[in-house]
Structure 1
C-alpha cells in the first residue's frame, strides 16, 4: 500500500462522530470563507452523507449507522447549519442535502423522531424554510424540505399557527409558475395531512384564514384563481371539514364570491365554483340572508346554471345542476 493511499485512508472519517464533525467543520469554514474550495468541501461531505444514508447503488445503507448519524447531527446542531447555509450552496449540493433531510427526519430512536424533536426545539428553522420561497434559487429545495416536516403534526401545527403561514397567500401568486405551484402544494399539505390539527387551527383562526383565502379566490392571476377554487371545492366537501363547511355556507359574502366565479370565463373555474355554490343552495337550514341573495339573483343564476358547460362522462354533474336549478326555481 502506497504512503499516499495510507494517508488518505487515515484522513477519511471512519466513525459516526468523525463523519458529522467533518460535515460541521466544512460548514463552519464556509461561514468565514465562501470560496469555491470551501463550497467544494461542503459538497463532498454532503455527497458522502447522502451515500451513507441512502446507499451507493450497490450496498444498502446500514440502518443502525443511519440512526447514529441522525442522533449525532442533532447533538452537534448540524441540522441548523443545513438550513442556514442552504442559500449559499450549489444546485447539486442542495439537491443532495434535501435528500438527506428527508431521510434524517424519518429516523426514530425508541419512541422519538430525533430530528423532528430537534426541529420542535428550533422552530426558527421552519420559519427560515418558509421564507426561502422568496429566493428563486432555493425555493423548490426548501419546499420539499418543508413538506417532509409537515408529515409530522407538531411541525405542521407550528407552521399553521405562525406568522409565516400567512406568507403562503403571497407565494401562491408569485409570477414564477413552478414556485407558485410548489408553494400551493405545501399549502395543501398543511391543510390536509392532519385532520385534528387543521380542525383546531381553523376553529380558532377561521375569520382571519378566510379573509386571506378570499383574496386568492378573487385573484387577477388565472392560475391562482383556478387552483384556489378547485382546492376549496375539495377541502370543504371532505367529511372531516364538515364543521368548517357548515359555517362557510352560512355567510352571504362567500355566496357572492361563488356567484362571481360562476361568471368566470374559465370552464374549469365555473365547474369548481358550482361544486361550492351547490352546497349553499342544498343547505336545508339556509339563513335569511342566503335565501334573499339567491332570490335577488334568481334570474341570473338560472341563466348561469343553464349555461354551465356539460362534461362528457360527468352525468353526476349534470344531475346535480338540474337539482340546483329546480331548488332555485322554487324559491
Structure 2
C-alpha cells in the first residue's frame, strides 16, 4: 500500500520562495477593509513565507544553512525588488512577521554574492528607503524594528553618509526626545551609531555643517529631560575625541557658547552629568591657545567654578586618583587665568 500522499511537499527553491514572498506581500495591497478575512489570510501567508526564509538563511538548529541557497535567495530578493516591499509593508505586518523580517535583514545585508554585497548595492540605489525607515520612528508599533534595520544599514559607510546629508537626519533630534521611553532610547542608539561608527564620514559632515549641527545639539545638552542630557553629553565626548574630529574639537573649545553650556552642566543636580561635563570642560581650560573671550569667562566666574570643582568627586575607585589629578591641574589653571592682567571685558 502506498502512503505517498503523506509525503511532505518539496521544499521551495530560493527563486520559488522569493516569488511566493513577493506575491504574498503584493496581495496585501489588493485587500479592502471589507475583505478582512482575505487580508488575514494574506498576512498569514506572508508570515509563513518569512519563517521559511528565516530557516533558509539561518538553518533550523540541526542542519546548517546551505551557502549557495543563501546567495541565490539574496540575489533574487534584490533582483525582484522585494527589499522595497519588505520596508514599505512593515507597518502592515504582524509582530512575529516583523521580528523574522528584521532577523533575515541582518543576514542578507552583509551577505556577499560573488565579490559584492548586492543588498548594500540595492540600498545605495534606493536611498529613499533609508528615509522611510527613519520616518517610521514616528510609528511606535514598528519603531524598534526600523531602528534595528537602520543600525544594520549604518554599518555601511555610504549609507551613513547619505543619512547625515539627508533632511531625515534632523528628525533624530526630535525622535530622541519622544515621550515613549523605549522608542526614544532606540532612536538614541541609532543616532549614536550614526555619529560614531564611521568617523571619517562624520568628520566630513561636521566640517560642512558645523553650525547647523551644534545649534541642534545644544538643545539636547540643555534638555529638561535628564536622560537626554546625560546621553547627549556622553555621546559628545565620544565623537569629539575621535582623531578625525580633532579639528572639530579645536573649533568647539574656543567658542564661548559651548563653554557656558558646560559650566551650566557642571552645576547639574546629577553627579553623573557633572562628571561628564567636567571631562569636556577641562579641555576648554587646558587648551594652551585659549582665546581671550574664554579667559574672560573663566576669570569672571573663577570663584564659583573653583567651589564647584573642589566639591566634585568620582568617589572611591580606580579612576579616583586620575580624576583628582586632572581636577587639581584644572583648578590651578583657572587660578592662574584669574590672576592675569587686562582681562576686564
Q: TM-score range by the shorter chain?
A: over 0.9
Change (3 A) 1:49 1:238: same
Counterpart of 1:242 (choices 224, 239, 246) is 246
State how far apart, in whole Å, the 2-side matches of 1:216 and 1:205 are: 17
Calculate the TM-score normalised by the size of structure 1. Answer: 0.96
Does residue 180 of structure 2 align to residue 176 of structure 1? Answer: yes
State how far apart, in whole Å, the 2-side matches of 1:18 and 1:184 are: 39
Task: Quote how far apart the aligned CAs of 1:238 are.
Answer: 2.8
C-alpha contact 2:172 2:187 (8 A) present in aligned 1: yes
Counterpart of 2:327 (choices 318, 321, 324) is 321
Deviates more, 1:229-238 or 1:136-145: 229-238
Aligned to 2:64, the other structure's residue is in SS state coil
State how far apart, in whole Å, the 2-side matches of 1:66 and 1:32 are: 30
Does residue 293 of structure 2 align to residue 289 of structure 1? Answer: yes
State how far apart, in whole Å, the 2-side matches of 1:119 and 1:13 are: 29
Matches within 5 A, 1:99-118: 99-118=103-122
Counterpart of 1:208 (choices 203, 212, 215) is 212
State how far apart, in whole Å, the 1-side matches of 2:6 and 2:129 are: 40
C-alpha contact 2:136 2:142 (8 A) present in aligned 1: yes
Per-residue CA distance 1:249-301 (angstroms, 9 max, x = gap): 01100000000101100000000000000000000001111111111111111
Counterpart of 1:23 (choices 21, 24, 48) is 21
State how far apart, in whole Å, the 2-side matches of 1:305 and 1:272 are: 13
2:140 corresponds to: 136
Calculate the TM-score normalised by the size of structure 2. Answer: 0.92
State how far apart, in whole Å, the 1-side matches of 2:314 and 2:13 are: 65
Question: 5+ residue gaps in structure 1?
Answer: none
1:85 corresponds to: 89
Per-residue CA distance 1:294-325 (angstroms, 9 max, x = gap): 11111111111111134211211111111100
Question: 5+ residue gaps in structure 2?
Answer: 338-345
C-alpha contact 1:126 1:146 (8 A) present in aligned 2: yes
Counterpart of 2:276 (choices 245, 265, 272) is 272
